[in-house]
Each structure stands twice: as structure tokens, then as C-alpha cells.
Structure 1
Amino acid sequence: MVPDEHRGGRGSSFSGTPDGGPARPGAGPSLAQWWQANEPDTYAGPNGYAPRALHGRYMQFVLETVEAGLPPHAVLHRVRGEVTDLERTMDGYRLSLADGSALDADRVVLTTGHTTPELSGQQKTLAEFAAAHPDVRYVRGDSAADMPLAEIPAGSYVGVLGLGLSFYDVMAALTLGRGGRFTEGADGRLAYEPSGDEPVLVAGSRSGMPLPARGRNQKHHDFRYSTLLFTADRVRAQSPDGTCDFNRDALPLLLAEVELVYFRTEIRLASGEERAAAFTADVVSAAEHGVPDVRAIAARHDVGGLPPVDLESLARPFTGRVYDSPEAFAKDLDEALRDDLAHAERGNVDSPLKAALDVLRDTRGIIRGLVDFAGLTPRSHRTDFLGWFVPRSSFLAAGPPMIRLRQVAALIDSGHLRIVGPQTCFEGDEDSGRFAMSSPAVAGSRTLVDTVIDARIPTPDVHRDPAPLTRRLVERGIWTSYVNGRGDEAFDTGGVFVTRAPFHPVGRDGQPDEGLYVLGIPTEHTRWFMQGGSSRPGFWTDFVQDADAIAAAALTVPEREPIAVGTGAAIGRADGDQ
């Protein structure tokens, strides 16, 4: 099986570059450098994409390097087991493990990652149908590497819910991972050569479009984009009461920034850097008086005729279209795939569209600063940001490498993949005892399948997380969910309520537990985009800065007051050792 949604190979988990000495904390190879040195036969170059499995081996190397470089007074004890409970003790915490053993700790950092929440809505209905019909199966949303994909019979029909990054993982696992291979023809188009062990994939989503490809990388690994229009100060100036409305205060400036890059790229390619700089100066000057009309300024520079960068139409390209047959939809889909690949091949510097969409990635830090800890009004947070913007920006800015989209086209050509259409519906069909898929926009699209795989990573929510540890933390009031706002407008985010750095959980009593820290996925929606982890030497991402803040706090020895117990006896730790 090939669980390999590719990642850029340029990130590093070391804070400094190699310096000629042994790899150690502060000086070690990036993923790309380690890949080239240790697995040169598969190395895809400095701008290549590394398989998940290789990234995992790199992270194992990082862990071993950190362990070997610990100072003499520090020891790493690796404990393999599931923590099922956490209780406060007189001077720390006791962690209970599934095997009945326990660990005592002074501080605890909770980095529990992705969860598999209790099923609800459509997912619950599909799972219940599968439970009542023994000849079909439902595979819940999870990492593809953790799905029971090996159990799916060759030749069976498999419905895939979702066309995002996890779809590509599932697709690869059930084709390349089953012994199939892709070959390139004289026209550059891939062809799929089946092994005979793969199933037939039938996929669908709201958009009906596989996640578009990332542009071919043309940027140096140290590149950092500095915004000219979309800044936190400008956005906050639009909301004098201090709480932003995303659509009113932030989105217009963000879209103006996207359009600035879009038209500037076209002008640079057509007329050179000097003309591009003049256009940029005109836009920045106009921004002194409010959100600039970038398209109108571009028209004065003779490039106003480019198609608009419309996030809605780009993310939902088939909306409003009706097809009289699956073949008609497949023709439009093939055209959309070819068009996206053409933009991606031009690169993330020389394609106006891909360069513009990179702005959605490059501004995540600014957006996070505006959104985190109830920076938006409750309605705007729930509806404008999480409901509308996040799905579309993720769709347009988090794509796979081009090879994956080329493989999609090859699998469609070979008949091993069919994409049903937009607004795909999944339901149990009692007459056949199988699942049925269809698109209301595509006549004749109804297809029966034996398995449905939910190829979407579940959204974290402390209320729906069945993990024993989460249940105990919530029951004990150690973890609570973060609520944006009060009264009828209140939005319960489902993310763990934490303080600002170093991110102590805030309990049911409203007080932070200063011996506990929470990092990453569990805090999603209290904060935003907690999935990122890798960084670059000399530049720490927000996630790495968060981790560093927690480490600094956890290693600080506090002054301990004696703890009064019973009838006046005082018990304390005289040395304060951690």
C-alpha cells in the first residue's frame, strides 16, 4: 500500500542548517537533504514532494537525533501505550495507561492529534446501513494509512466521499498500492496499466472537482511573501469595536492582495519588472483611501481583461451546470483537469493564477492572528469563516503535486475511476442492498457500490471525541470547549479552551491548569490551522513557536508553596525538582 499524499521536501525539523558536525538539535538536515543522502534512488529534487512514509522516516531520524543530543541531566523515556486517564495529584499528575500501568508527572503536554469523532448525520446513516447489510461496508473518515483498505476485494465498486488530499491517498493505495503502474505516452499524458487486483473507484463531492494541483515550485526555500494590502492593522482599522466581521473587514483586503499578485504577475510576464512595479505602486497608493479596485487599476495598465479570481467559481467550477449524461460531465471534467494542469505547469511564480492562489497560503499567519481567540464575531466565525472561506481556501491552496492530477486523468481514461459529479449524494439502496451514488446535476449518474470510504479527515470536537482520555478530561472538567460570544449568538467551537501561550487548558472552574499544556489539533477552532508542523532553518512557523513557548514554560521550575493537608500539616517539595 502507498499511503503517500506528497508533501513539499523543503521543510526542516531542525532550527539550523548542517554545519559540518554531527546532526544535532540546532544543526541538522532538512527533509530534502536527508532524503537525498539516505534514499537517493527516490530523491525527487529540492522542489520535489516526499511520500508520507518517507516523511515519517525523517521524523523518526529527528527524534533519534534529539534523543542522542540530550544534555547529561536529561533522559527520554519512550513509553508505548495508550493514555486513558489523567488525574491531578497532590504535587503533579497521574497518567493511567490502557495496560493498567501508571505514570507520575510534574507537567503534561497534550498533543493528541487527530481524532475519530462519534458518527453523526449522513456518516451515521451510512454506517448503520452497512451494519444492517452484511455484503457492504462503510469506512469512516480517518488517515488512509489507518483505513482497512487491504480488505477491499479486487473488482468491487468503491464509492469515495470527498475529493481532497485524503482522496488522493486512497486512490494511490487502491491502484499503485495494488500493483498497478502509470506510464507516460508520447503526448505526455499518463496511461494506467492495471494489475487486476484493484477495485473500481467511484468518487464524488460537493464540488465534483478533484483538489487542484499545486503550481510547480519556482520559489527559493527561503522565500517569504510580505503583504502590501492585507495586513492585520488595515483589517482592524475597519472594525473599530475590536471584533472583526470576516466578510466585511478582512475578505475584501485579502482578495485585493490576491488580485494584486494575479495582475502583477501578468504584467511582469508581458511587459517586464518596471511596468509591474508601476502597477504595484498605483495599487498601494490607492489603498491609502480604502480597499483598492485592483481590477480597475489593472485595466489602466492594459491587463484588466483577465478572467476574475473568483474563489467561489474556482472552488465550485461546475455550479449551475446541468449535464444530460455522465459522458457530458466527463468531457467538462477532463477540460477542467487539463486547464488546471496547464496553470500548474507554468509554476507558482509564472502562472498568474497559481501565484495568486499561493497568497491564500502565505497569509495564513495573518488570518490566524485575526481569527484566534474570538477575533471574529460569533456569526462571522461560524458562517463566513469556517462555513464559507475555509473550505474554499483549503480547496484552492492545499493541493497535491501535479502527478496526482495526471494520475486521476489516466484512471478515468482506463475506467478505474469515475467521478460522479457535483453535489454527490450517498445513500443506502434497500432494493439492491448496496450503496447508491448520484449527482443531481448529471442525468444517468446513479451508480451502485459495495463500499463507501469517507475520504475526509474528521473535524475535531471535544464533545464528540470518544477517546477515553478526552472523555475523562472533559468529565473531570480539566478540558472545556471554547465558546465565542454569549447568549443566543454564542458559537461553541468544539476546540479545547486554552490560554494564550503557553496554552494551558482552562477548566470548568474558569481557571487555567498551569501544569498542563495543549498543542495542535485539539485546539482547532479556538485557534485556526493547527495542522502545520514543519518549519525552515532560521524561520519558525507559528506552530514551532507555539511548541517552543510550551517547552520553555514546562522547563521553568516554579516557586512552590507548601500544600496544607488535614489538621495543619504542611507537605511540600523542598527542592522543587521537576
Structure 2
Amino acid sequence: MSATGHAPHSAPPPRPLHPPSRAPARPAVVLVGAGPRGTGLIERIAANAPELYGDAPLDLHLVDPYPPGGGRVWRRDQSPLLWMNSTAEDVTMFTDASVELRGPVRPGPSLAEWAARVRAGELSVPGELADAVRGLGPQGFAGRQVQSAYLEWVYEQAVAALPPGVVVHEHRCRAVRVTGPRGGPQQVWLEGAPTPLVADLVVLALGHLDGRPPPEQRDLAAFAARHHLTYLPSDFTADAGLDVLAPGEPVLVRGFGLAFVDLMVLLTEGRGGAYEAGPDGEPVYRPSGKEPVLYVGSRRGVPYHSKIGYTYRGERPPLPRFFGPAQVDELLARPGGYDFRRDVWPLIAKELGHAHYHRLFTAHPERVRTDRAAFEEKYAAAEPLGPGLRALVAAAVPDPADHLDLDALDRPLQGVRFPGADAFQDGLRGYIEADLARRHNPAHSPDLAVFLALLSVYGQLVRLGDHGPWWHGFFSHLASGPPGPRLRQLLALSRAGVVRFLGAGTTVTADPERGVFSATSDSVPDVRVEARALVEARLPQPTVTDTKDALLRGLYDDGAAATGSGLLAVDPGDGRVLDRTGRPHPRRFALGPHTDARASGAFARPRTNAPAFRQNDATARALLRFLRAHAVPEPARCPPG
């Protein structure tokens, strides 16, 4: 055991020294999931323990088959070609003054600041990562292996900050079931272990989970098996078996988000292809000859919008303004409940518009033709999404390019038809080029103000619980797109013929007569593409009803509640798991994307009042208060013999 009480990685999982029906000899918490979310909770336990728990003993059991810190998604054991999706200065695991919490703020370095400390010789990283860290500036996009090293360092700092009475035990295995009465100790059963871990409290920080394919995907898999085709269902791209996709083979790909970007990278550079600078400075792709040909389509038919390539300067929009705590309180108090698209979305749209036009008036006053105060007064009084608001904007902002059109941003190809496949390739390349130009030009800085408003909105939505998949998809399309260099690579792959675009409203069917998969789209209705391989380039849905995770499924079977979207229902105040009567379980908690309190990420952009940090703090305080009130802080004693 190290000086911090942290069990070394090579130590075997400790066995409980007491019958499962009895309380643990020392107060104990089992944390299932040691990735970024679990690490964030440990950091908050360490921060709050001096106030709420003191130096009382505590066993903290971490259960995860993957290394702590990075967990599965951010583990170091993956391709060095895969990048993060945010700039280094926009990634932190530490609270700051913007975070609304009851516990103390414990500042720490962002990924960019951590990398600077490594370069200065204050911290060290494994030798194979040294060059990557040295080349990482604040506006750079780190490889996932570098992010893994940062998360491992954060984990080590969080464990070291725990009071001396806390002993951390790592269990490199899966938890498969949780049992125990509401009023008594909980048992966490580990895969392959004859006896469970016994704890006063259990926290599920499971992260992203594998899911059982929905019925349509199961039908396609069965069709593929009958006709000896290749079908890869929704999965984490880094873990998908891509070797089955043959060089030169046409491959249909459904999904144009971040999972597709990873797929694109692994099947091109990952197979030996390379980029070189062309005459105009744009990348040119040189194939290795081992690539398949990717035919990619989706509902929107376009990739996510590029990450914005400049920083915010000047006055920030005052947020929240039209969708804040007061509006959420009113929605929650409605006797008949609320409908997201009818009641919530108009408020969100008005908030995004407020940020957009505030920035336009303050940073680009030459592009408006009315007084700012008068505009803002009329904007505040206008009905969200109503004709009065549209007329106000049209009168005040002459250039339609300066209007915020959320429908066009969400569905840019809606109603647009192309005469043929080649015309659509040209058209979509033009769309991507225009998006890159706009998202890297500070003249369009209202786009960055809208991004900040999206983060504010996401923070407010946490209190409303599950709001269905549409909002998350819209948010991701607008705010969680790929780095600009990735879209430039996509353009190069398109020009090289390695990637072909299918269009919006892509539909894939199984053709039993020809024994192939067949794809059509609304954008090019007269074109049909056939292939013997199909890849679902999207993550599995994080539902308790279709999860492959035995622990989560067992929890649901035992009475835990699920929302209409299949997410685990939790108390928005502290993350306690709710049963189907709405009762919070006193000893079981859950955090992360499988819950209806899902936040936008386990780590966050600094100074944005990150929802995950607020949730972590509330849950940590609830754990410590319970332990102080109910657990007996006595030293562990082995039974005789």
C-alpha cells in the first residue's frame, strides 16, 4: 500500500472479510466506473471531506476493467491518430469560480496548462508522449493518448488529496450486479468473484455503455448473416472490428458525426495513407491502396459544424437571460407538465438569438441599423419564434447572413435536390468549405456567442431531466463538431474518391433479391448505391432497457425507473437512483450519460459553470453526509481464524 492509501495496480482485488448481509467493518463506498466522471467525483469527495467527514476512516472501492483516470473511452491503449474534439485550453477537470456549488472550489490546470507544466519540466509523461505534449499549444487538439495522461495525473492528484483515513482500492474487473435492501448494506458483485464487495453506498459512474442493437439493426445483422455480408452495428469506433472491411470495397456508412470522423481516420491514415500540402496549402490525400470506399450519409446529410477556430474577445452576452433558473422553475411547477418542443425549445431559441444579436450589436455595429437598447427592449417583449421577432430582426439586421436561422443550421439540406451524385459531391464540398471559412473568421463571432449560449442552456436543462434525443443531436451538430483540420482532411478524401457523400435523409434497406445493402437519399433521389458492407457510425444509445451492461440492466429489472427515452431516472438534486414510484434510493447513486441528468461531458470548458462539476459536488456531499450520519467509523477487524 502506498503512502496515500492507494492500492497499487498489481494488487489482487481485496475480498470482503465479513458476511455479505452485515455492514462493512469500515465505512465503505463502491464507485463503479473510474473514468473521468469517477475521477471527478473523487476530487469532490476530497474537497468536501474536511467539512463533512473529517478524518474518519473510509474504504473507497473503484471498480473498472480499464485504467483509472481515462477509463475505457480515454484509455491510452488506442490509436495515436485519434484526437480530442476540443482545444487544449477548453478542457479542464477542475472547478473554478463560475461553478455554482456548495463545496469549496479547488482550482487546477486545464489540459493546456498541464501540458505547459510538462514542457517546463515540472511534470513528466511517458516517453512516447513527450513529443506530442511538447507540440501541444492552447489552441491545439490533443491526441486521446495525451488526454489519457492528463486524466491519469488528475486521478492521482485527487487520490492524493483524500484525507489520510480514506483508503482507495482498485478492482480491475467488471461489476455485474448490485443487491441489498434500501435500509441496509449494499453488495456489489464482481465478475468472477465468489463474494461481493459490501458497502454503505454505491455510485454508478459507468460512462458510455455498449447497447443491444435496436430491432432494425438486428434485422440488418440477420440479413447480413444470411447473405454473407459485412455488418458492423453501433459501437465505439476505436473498439470496432474494422479489419473486416476490405481494400477498395464499397462500404455504406450511416452517421456523419464524430464516430464517422474516427472511422474515417482509422480506415485511411490508419491503413497507411498520408496527407501532403497541395499548391493552395490545402491537404491532398495520397492513398495507400488499403482503404475501402466510404459512402456516408445521415438524416442531415452533412458533417457536424466545424469547431470555431478563434477565441472570444470583448463583451460577453449576459447569460442566462431568457432560459435560466426562473424559467426552469416555472416549467417544473406546471401542474400538467411541459412538452419540450412546445414549451422549452422556444425559450432556448430566444436565448440563442439573444446571444447572437447581443454580439452582433456590440462587436459589429456597422452591420446593424437600429439602436441596441431599442432592439433589445423589443426583442425581450417579442414572442419566441413568432413573426414579430422575425420582423424585428429583418428591420434591424439588413444582411440575411447575419440572421440566426436555427432551422437552416439544423437541417441545411432540407428541400434541396441535386441532379446527380457528382453534382452533390461538388455541392457538399462547397458547403463544408463555407462552414470552415465562417467558423474560422472572427467577422462571424456571433457564432461563438451562440456556442456559449448553448453551454448555458445545457446547464439549465440538467434540472429538467430527460428531454429526448433531438436536443442532444442538435447540440452536438452545432457545438460538438470536429476540429477544422479534420474537415479539411474529409475534403481531401472526397477529392481523392475515398469518401463519397450520399445525402440527407439517407435510407438503407436490405435487398433480398440482389443480396446486398442498398442506400438512397432525399438529396439525390434518383441515385441508389449498393454495397456488401454496412457500418453504423454512431454510438449506442445509453438506455437501461437495451444496455449490454448487466449491472445497469439488473438495476432496472429490480425496479429502478427509466424515462421515455430509456435513461436511468435519478434525483436531479444529488443523483440518487429513483424507483418506479419516484422514490430516491438512499444508498444508490448514478452519474453520467446513462442517466436523465446527463451533462455535456465529464470534463468541461473552463469558466462555464459546468453541469457535471455541479452534479459531482452535490453527490459527493450527499455521500459524505450519509456516511457521517449512518456509518460506524471503526477500524476494520478480521474475524478470528
TM-score (norm 2): 0.75
The aligned amino acid for 2:247 is A
Aligned residue number for residue 341 of structure 1: 436
| Residue among 135, 142, 150 paired with 2:235 | 142
Between stretches 288-297 and 540-549, larger displacement belongs to: 288-297
Mark the CA change 1:514 to 1:388 in structure 2 (over 3 Å): closer, same or farther.
closer
Tell me if structure 2 keeps the 8 A contact 1:265–1:350: no
Inter-CA distance 388–280: structure 2 relative to 1 (3 Å threshold)? farther
Query: Which residue does the alignment assign to 2:151?
Result: 59
Question: CA separation of 1:287/1:88 partners in 2, compared to 1, >3 Å: closer, same or farther?
Answer: same
Alignment partner of 1:29 out of 90, 93, 109? 109
Contact 2:263/2:537 (<8 A) preserved: yes
Equivalent positions of 1:231-380 (< 5 A) are 231-233=324-326, 241=334, 243-268=337-362, 270-271=364-365, 279-287=371-379, 289-291=381-383, 293-301=388-396, 303=398, 305-306=400-401, 308-347=403-442, 350-369=444-463, 371-372=464-465
Residue 551 of structure 2 corresponds to which residue in structure 1?
A: 469
Aligned to 1:544: 613
Q: Which of 553, 557, 563 is the aligned partner of 2:622?
A: 553
5 Å matches for 1:96-245? 96-101=189-194, 102-134=196-228, 136-219=229-312, 226-233=319-326, 241=334, 243-245=337-339
Verify the 8 A CA contact 2:209 2:540 in the aligned structure 1. yes
**1:231-260: CA deviation from partner (whole Å, max 9, x where unpaired):** 443576699846444444443343333334
Q: C-alpha displacement at 1:171, in angstroms?
A: 0.8
Show the 5 A alignment for 1:83-98: 83-88=175-180, 91-98=184-191
Match of 1:438 among 514, 520, 524: 520
For residues 407-441 of structure 1, what are the alpha-carbon distances to aligned partners after superposition, in whole Å with 9 as ceiling and x for unaligned? 11110000100011121121223344332222244
Distance change (3 Å), C-alpha of 1:179 and 1:33? farther
Q: Deviations over 1:467-516 (max 9, x none)?
A: 22123222322x2224xxxxxxxxx3322222232221123565322111
Matches of 1:96 and 1:223 in 2, distance apart?
Answer: 50
Q: In structure 1, what is the equivalent of residue 88 of structure 2? A: 9
Rounded Cα–Cα distance in structure 2 between residues aligned with 1:70 and 1:554: 14
Q: Name the TM-score, length of structure 1 as normaliser.
A: 0.82
Measure the CA separation in 1 of the matches of 2:220 and 2:504: 19
AA at the equivalent of 1:429: D
SS of the residue 1:71 aligns to? coil
Verify: 1:426 aligned to 2:508, yes or no. Answer: yes
- The answer on whether the counterparts of 2:503 and 2:524 sit within 8 Å (CA) in structure 1 is yes
Q: Structure 1 CA distance, aligned partners of 2:525 and 2:485? A: 30
Q: CA RMSD in A?
A: 3.2
Aligned pair 1:495/2:588, yes or no?
no
- 1:339 and 1:161 mapped to 2: Cα distance? 23
Answer yes or no: is the 8 Å Cα contact 1:559–1:576 preserved in 2. Answer: no
Deviation at 1:197, TM superposition (A): 2.2
Q: What is the alpha-carbon distance in structure 1 between the residues aligned to residue 268 and residue 224 of structure 2? A: 24
Q: Give the whole-Å Cα distance in 2 for the aligned partners of 1:356 and 1:298.
A: 16
Residues 530, 221 of structure 1: alpha-carbon distance in 2 compared, 3 angstrom cutoff: farther
Q: How far apart, in 2, do the equivalents of 1:179 and 1:225 lie?
A: 48
- Give the aligned residue type for 1:202: Y
2:172 alignment partner in structure 1: 80
- Count the aligned residue pairs: 530
Shift of the 83–220 alpha-carbon distance from structure 1 to 2, 3 Å rule, reads: farther
CA positional deviation for 1:209: 0.9
The one-letter code matched in structure 2 to 1:430 is P
Conserved? CA contact 1:13–1:62, under 8 Å: yes
| Contact residue 266 and residue 352 of structure 1 kept, 8 A | yes
Q: Which moved more, 1:311-320 or 1:411-420?
A: 311-320
Contact 1:228 1:284 survives alignment (8 Å): no
Which amino acid is 2:557 matched to?
A: E
| Partner residue in 1 for 2:72 | none
Deviation larger for 29-38 or 76-85? 29-38
CA distance in 1, matches of 2:412, 2:397: 27
The Cα offsets for residues 94-129 of structure 1, whole Å up to 9 and x where unpaired, read as 211111243222211111222222222321221111
Cα distance in 2, alignment partners of residues 438 and 144 from structure 1:
24
Measured in 2, the distance between the counterparts of 1:575 and 1:185 equals: 68
Q: Post-superposition shift, 1:539?
A: 6.1
The question of whether the paired residues in 1 share the 8 Å contact of 2:211 and 2:543 is answered with yes
- Identity of paired residues, percent? 29
**Deviation (angstroms), 1:213:** 0.6
Inter-CA distance 539–100: structure 2 relative to 1 (3 Å threshold): same
| SS of corresponding position for 1:555 | helix
Distance in 1 of aligned mates of 2:393 and 2:382: 17
The 1-side partners of 2:632 and 2:523 are apart by: 72
SS in 1 for 2:212: coil
Taking structure 1 as reference, are residues 505 and 264 closer, same or farther at Cα in structure 2, changes over 3 Å only? closer
Segment of structure 1 superposing worse, 155-164 or 497-506:
497-506
Gaps in structure 1 of 5+ consecutive residues: 18-24, 374-380, 483-491, 561-572
Q: Which residue of 2 aligns with 1:20?
A: none
